[in-house]
Structure 1
């Protein structure tokens, strides 16, 4: 085989996921191994290098065919230099991941924020395929995001572009403090954590809801209850969708993307959630800024990070 391949790496606090991608974004093979954070940053970096080598050795390809290795990692980064300034989950502090891996692997290595990388994965080979300009939201424990313009990740002056979950969008009288320290962030109402918080608050207030009988409330419980007609749960999901729709409207008049892609666990609510988001977006966005704009679910799931990491090499 003479075709070129790319290795993508998605680093999590528990597991490191590695994949081989073709130059067109097709995920050809995957592998995962333990992160072993407790052994220290050097051990984690060595694991990344080992798993990247291992997946190629176990494939029909050879190391000479590898164009480069892309890395997605959560944390505060110096993206141009591939330095992880701080990653709380991994206990990384000023780790020059790019230099370490290029020395170990003797290949080009590019490092980027995990949310940016997931967005690039969807843009390159997922729900954004064929679209040059798109914005991706990930609705999980928090609200992650990534902005793709002309096929490239928008990183911003200090590598903080695309922090969509920290748009201050909830009015002061309704706002609570976000984990970032500021008030009224989108993340406080539209993440799984925000939905769970609102549900628990309702139960503690004594609101009449079927959620009172759920021992350990999860976002899915709230969504399922809303679908079943529970009024309290419906209000919570409506609120999450409302502020999501408003945030899309704000982004639309700044960036005018062709497509919004929404992924993460909360997005599994499907059309029940998406229809509400689209309705709000249509209501509050100027006609010319919403014309032809699509709001669609992500399709790569847990593989978005691997594919997007590989895409860093192809799209650089």
Structure 2
């Protein structure tokens, strides 16, 4: 019997990335094409199907070897029925994506939230490989998350499990409103956006910091300044790490994962950030719940979404 392969699709507002994985989660081929979001729903759907076919055509595999196609997409989804209810960055609303692709491609299709899919990618073939229970944080514009239990994505009853960035963890007196409308979410302090906001606030207050000399403050500049010993930047990074570690302590006593995996742009701060997160985690977690629990960096980078999407066929 010929080797079976799995196609993963990562849909973004600008580009659609497609990959072929084998049954071990190894990424064998990739392809990327424009989403063409401005041309509307029908064009987006056509492009997804076309790129999925094209990557197989450009490989040495045959379509008959495809065991299924998985799709990762940001938005509100009806996962069991494969419906995109709403996606903020895409012209997709109440679209039966699973049914459309199964008709066009003639194979099994599964869809899931992009953060869940990235978590599955790391669990299957990245920093969580060989671990059955892990929780993933993605520190980017916001704070995304994904929960893997017994090697599979845990979605909750309506797909909202793993929204780690919206844990309301910042005390009322320090809290600001999150984009979700609630106050004090983790995302407001531990995302790249939160770090930038705190840095700009410090500059506007007139705090003595090298960041006042930076024209366009980004999270990297804040982290670099903290590494160089800037006290204001250090306080900001400490605060981000403090709430990340404290949130993990809460997750640990509910889910008891073996490993926390942290990815996204902010995670590139490396051990400078991770050491602080681990310290706070140990401080707030009961010994038994923290025993042998690891906090590590994600390893798949931008490929996590493709790999995890392909993994939906085998591990969901």
Alignment TM-score, normalising by the size of structure 1? 0.99
Query: What number of residue pairs does the alignment pair up?
Result: 316
Equivalent residues in 2 for 1:47-86 (5 A)?
47-86=47-86
- 1:159 lines up with 2:159 in the alignment: yes
Equivalent residues in 2 for 1:229-244 (5 A)?
229-244=229-244
- 1:7 lines up with 2:7 in the alignment: yes
Q: Tell me, what secondary structure is at the counterpart of 2:312?
A: helix
Any unmatched runs of 5+ in structure 2?
none
Which residue in the other structure is 2:295 paired with? 295
Shift of 1:89: 0.1
Which residue in the other structure is 1:120 paired with? 120
Shift of 1:232: 0.3
Equivalent residues in 2 for 1:110-149 (5 A)?
110-149=110-149
Equivalent residues in 2 for 1:30-41 (5 A)?
30-41=30-41
**Separation in 2 of the partners of 1:282 and 1:159?**
30
**Separation in 1 of the partners of 2:27 and 2:56?**
13
Alignment TM-score, normalising by the size of structure 2? 0.99
Shift of 1:192: 0.2
Deviations 1:171-192 (A, max 9, x none): 0000000000000000000000
Shift of 1:314: 1.2
Shift of 1:92: 1.2
After TM superposition, where is structure 1 displaced by more than 6 Å over at least 4 residues in a row? none
Shift of 1:290: 0.2
Which residue in the other structure is 1:180 paired with? 180
**Separation in 2 of the partners of 1:48 and 1:5?**
18
Deviations 1:262-292 (A, max 9, x none): 0000000000000000000011100010001
Cα RMSD of the aligned pairs, angstroms, is 0.6
Shift of 1:157: 1.1
Shift of 1:196: 0.3
**Separation in 2 of the partners of 1:98 and 1:46?**
13
Q: Tell me, what secondary structure is at the counterpart of 1:313?
A: coil
Shift of 1:315: 1.0
Shift of 1:91: 2.3
